[in-house]
Structure 1
């Protein structure tokens, strides 16, 4: 395994495994992010040789998207594949865009419009509707974590994946913002514990990094348990906005993330990488970034 795993500039990876094949969904990373008008995916059986699946969204189904798409997340549900992604970088309520949802019959797409409107198109609890992460719990419940501008929300998807099921207190969307949260949530359940990870710092530079919190409940609370992925001389800086893979035959967890060349001033120059992620005593060990492992 060598890092970066594929050539070119990509960011915000989400990773899944279907039928023995690993998939990574990623943002096309441009400094001028208005050029990011579709998403690409990569698939591999061995994590070494990757096939590229370009332009996985049928963008004609989203005529209101004019500015950018980025930060995909994906989940299988009842034999279909759902993709949620951010669009248009909306700055206030009333602007078109937010979090979109699309559906496909295969992991690599093509993904077609599902609602003919955004899934979430407004600011709730202060969270910009970006950076979604779909998490399927052991009981089959699917949760959507999302949010930028320093606020993280969670909602539970309904069976049709068209909206949300109210929580017992009647709320559709709850705030679960942990201390230090900026954006890019990611959830893992392991041994009965819920590990919420998120990105801190600024995505355009070397301050970007990943912290985590642990709870016995998918709704938290999540205290900041520390940083697990950050600038590491001489390998890379600005690592973050990640997903993960689990290899059951090896009982091994991998973190799939983007990072930057140290000192590169170009914001869009981000690359896809994979490294090992280890758990210990109810926590996550600091990740060691590598060029080859």
Structure 2
């Protein structure tokens, strides 16, 4: 009788573990460049729909109360609502201000003379629907060599809003108006764009504050290859200088390749941080076959970030 009870308890424990433990990837389907954020004690993820440019024309969002069970919110924004976006939309970034939600995104593969760049849409709730705020890109030109893509919007301790962005191995920071309709000067001389590119930067900037320090992070390597990875710096100012400390996430021959373009979520009211990122399953060769995953970030006593071990 005792053996039967033990077996039954073990069976229930197995069911509980299978039902309630986090599994990577956390989302079904091909999703990349995930922006993770907490709204009203609920976790949200806004990823790129990972597909060829002609198909990558909408955004889905996902929400969860426990980081385990995720609800999908279909097509919160697509090119039908952004008339100037003709093909790819990718790498969303989102922020809330005064009860409204602002979704920033890259659209069209902008080069000199081509319409495209960084756009912004607005909604009254995290799941949308979102509408184009400006009817044109917020930034549509190449400044300091930075392709206007991969934007991250950041609220500083004093309430100022900054946006870090840039591809082609260059990163700029700009200051945003609080209604996100334009830019404000960064200093008294009227400068709108400041380059803050750290060593070995390629794309995908991200910023967060912990214990008064500014953690600046970015992706290195090529997004289509196995060597994609995430590095970071720590500074005393949102403008740096950002001295590269090292790599915190990269491929694991036993788990996945192409690990990068991440974001960071902090658990409400706890000193717990999670890296949300995409990676390419072993054996996949298509550049578009990327999946979204979460792994915990651990800090050392002096504030450095331990190397993240990808998990299943």
TM range (shorter): over 0.9
CA gap of 1:63–1:248, structure 2 versus 1, over 3 A, is: closer
Q: Give distance in 2, aligned partners of 1:50 and 1:180.
A: 35
Q: Decide which of 102, 105, 115 is 2:134's aligned counterpart.
A: 115
1:58 to partner: Cα distance: 5.0
Where do 1:1-293 residues align within 5 Å? Answer: 1-30=22-51, 32-57=52-77, 59-92=79-112, 94-168=113-187, 169-280=189-300, 281-291=302-312
Unpaired segments of 5 or more residues in structure 1? none
Unpaired segments of 5 or more residues in structure 2? 1-21
1:159 to partner: Cα distance: 1.9
| Deviation per residue, 1:51-77 (Å, 9 max, x gap) | 111111153332121111000000001
Q: Give distance in 2, aligned partners of 1:290 and 1:214.
A: 26
Equivalent pairs, count: 289
Q: Give distance in 2, aligned partners of 1:115 and 1:91.
A: 20
TM-score by length of 2: 0.90
Q: Which has the higher contact order (CA 8 A, sep 6+)?
A: 1
* Larger Rg over CA atoms: 2
CA gap of 1:232–1:58, structure 2 versus 1, over 3 A, is: closer
SS in 2 for 1:279: coil
Q: Give distance in 2, aligned partners of 1:133 and 1:67.
A: 21
Give 2:14's aligned residue.
Answer: none
Q: Give distance in 1, aligned partners of 2:81 and 2:292.
A: 28
Q: Give distance in 2, aligned partners of 1:154 and 1:190.
A: 20
More helix as a share of residues: 2
The ranges of structure 1 where at least 4 consecutive aligned residues each deviate by more than 4 angstroms after the TM superposition are: none
